[in-house]
Amino acid sequence: MKIAFGALPFFLAVAASAQTPQASMSNEWDVRKTLASITTHAERLAPFLEQVQPENWAAGGAPGGYVTQAKSSRSLLQTIIASSQGLNRDPEKLSEELELLFHIRTLESMLGSLSEGIRKYKNPAMADLLNSAVAENAGNRDRLQDYILELAKAKEQEFHVADQEAQRCRQSLSRDRAAPGKREPK
């Protein structure tokens, strides 16, 4: 019985910290809006990537690596769409948020390289369009990154509060066990 009452403050502290809004934490509506914007941007970028056909650049001396980059970029774009849609339902999954950010950063890097191939072997204006399209998502990416940092700090704080309370409960239980002559009533 004492253990149950001893654990009560722990659960109350954890519940209170989970329900207390963080001062710097983005609200859920803004996060969902950012994730929806990332999805929309990726969906708009997909048809443009389908038009990029580096297989046809071989006559101009283009390396075969551009073919691999184009395929990987298309695949990664679909991963970003699926991830951002899934996170829109539950945006507090820190590891999945990080994965999405890493995918976005990787795609930006790949598209930068692919853009150079487009510029050299296809059409400089098309490369500029691709670069502009990628740059459109910078604000969303930065907001996502800020949210991830806020979420990580909030999760650390929750863990710290839970750990402190667990330590306090352990100390309380050890004192109760160490005190001679104290017995629980039956």
Q: Which domains does the chain have, with CATH numbers?
A: 27-152 (1.20.1440)
In the prediction, which pLDDT does 24 show?
A: 53
pLDDT tens digits, one per residue of 80-99: 999 999 999 999 999 999 99
In the prediction, which pLDDT does 177 show?
A: 79
In the prediction, which pLDDT does 167 show?
A: 85
Kindly tell me if the per-residue pLDDT of 143 is higher than 80: yes
In the prediction, which pLDDT does 20 show?
A: 45
The answer to whether the CB of 157 falls within 8 A of the CB of 165 is no
Confidence of residue 6 (pLDDT cuts 50, 70, 90): very low
Distance between CA atoms of residues 148 and 38, nearest Å:
15
Query: 173: closest CA among 16, 12, 5?
Result: 5
Q: What is the mean pLDDT of residues 26-53?
A: 93
Both structure tokens of 171: 């100390």
